[in-house]
Amino acid sequence: MLRSPPSPAPASIPVTAPRAPASMHGLEALIRQAQTGDEAAFEALFRRHRGDVTRLVFRLLGPTPEVDDVVQDVFVHVYRSLPSFRGDAKFSTWLYRLTTNVVRMHLRRARSRPRFADVEVPEATAPEGAFGDGPETATERNERLAALRRVIDTLPEKKRTVLVLHDLQGLPAKEIAAIVEAPVLTVRTRLFYARKALYSALTAEPALASLVDAMAGTLRGRPEAREDDGGAGGRPPRGDGGAR
């Protein structure tokens, strides 16, 4: 149940090396320079982190045409807030915190916006041969993932954020705690209950019924290596038996 951080998949966002001025070495210097208003340094920061931010926004929002706009919003906020970054937390943690906040506000605005009809959005597709699991078609896979997305979207905001950051983005519980500004124990609790709710919802999702039934057919579990943070969310917090 516990996952290691995702291995770098073939990136469809082209990432180029930051065009940092020759005198700058490392992220810290880049940040310091960007804080003084150096546009080239900010551009370098943008290029360096755009891929990570896009991936996180994509995983939090799902496949929607708004991903790119939200990523832009994130960096507008980065630009505004950068002077207040003191380096007390890792820059990536700070950036992820900002990203989750911007996504949260985006979702809230979207909820309050009138909806007239369901608009079909382009689905992101997996790279060819990424799974190597037989002759299934990309369509079937996309249907399954769309069903997973539907189920994830039913989770309350806090639980959904933690689940996406941990299970999809592959961040350890400690870093998630810093991002969502909650104790690690709270993160693990949210993760446990998010998964618990998901398991229950998956059994009720018609598009996944055959998958769930097939998986239920095999009795023996498959032990997984615990690699990321020593148990973030995989098991309920101590004292919570998890039996409901």
Partner 1 sequence: MSGEGHAPKTAALVAYLEGVLTPEGARRLESHLAGCGTCARALGAMRAYDALVDEARAIEPPAARSDAAAWEALRARLPRRRLGLDGRVAAWAVGAAGVAAAVAFLALAGAPGRAPRSGADPVGDRFTVPERPAPALPAPADVEVTAWSGEVRVDGEPLADHGPRLAEGDRLTTGPGAALHAAIATADGGDNWAAGPTGWALGPDADVALASARVGELILTVERGALTVAAGALGDDAYVGVRAGRYTVSVEGTRFLVSREREDGEVRVVVAEGVVRIHDPGRASPIRVGPGEVWSSRAGRIPRPIAAPEVEALATPWLPEGVPGDGTAAFTLPQTRGVVSWELGGAHFDAAGDVRVRLAPARFEPEGIELAALDRFGRRRLERVPLAGDPLPTAAFEPRAPAEGRGVLTVEQIRPVVRRGQRGLRRCYERWARSTGREAPIELRLRLKVGRRGDVVDATVVGDGVPVPPPLGGCVAQAARGWLFPLPEGGPVRLEVPVRFGPGSRR
**Nearest distance from residue 199's CB to partner 1, in Å?**
4
Q: How far apart are CA 27 and CA 33, in angstroms?
A: 10
- Residue 176 near residue 165 (C-beta atoms within 8 A): yes
Q: Which is nearer to partner 1, 32 or 77 (CB)?
A: 77
Q: Where are the alpha helices (DSSP H) in 181-229?
A: 184-204, 209-216
Helix 91-112 and helix 67-81, axial crossing angle in degrees, nearest 10: 130
CA-based angle 176:182:187, to the nearest 5? 55
Nearer to partner 1, 125 or 174 (CB): 125
Shortest reach from residue 58's CB to partner 1, in Å: 4
What amino acid is encoded at 228 in this protein?
D
Q: Which is nearer to partner 1, 30 or 198 (CB)?
A: 198
For the record, the structure tokens of 183 come out as 């104790």
Nearest distance in Å: CB 224, partner 1:
6
Length of the chain: 244
Do 158 and 176 meet the contact criterion of CB atoms below 8 Å apart? Answer: no
Provide the minimum distance between the beta carbon of 206 and partner 1 in the complex, in angstroms, as a whole number.
13
Say if residues 226 and 234 touch (Cβ distance below 8 Å).
Answer: yes
Residue 109 beta carbon to partner 1: minimum distance, rounded to whole angstroms:
8
Q: Least CB distance from residue 135 to partner 1, whole Å? A: 16
Rg (CA), the chain: 20
The number of C-alpha atoms within 13 Å of 71 and in the hemisphere containing its C-beta is: 19
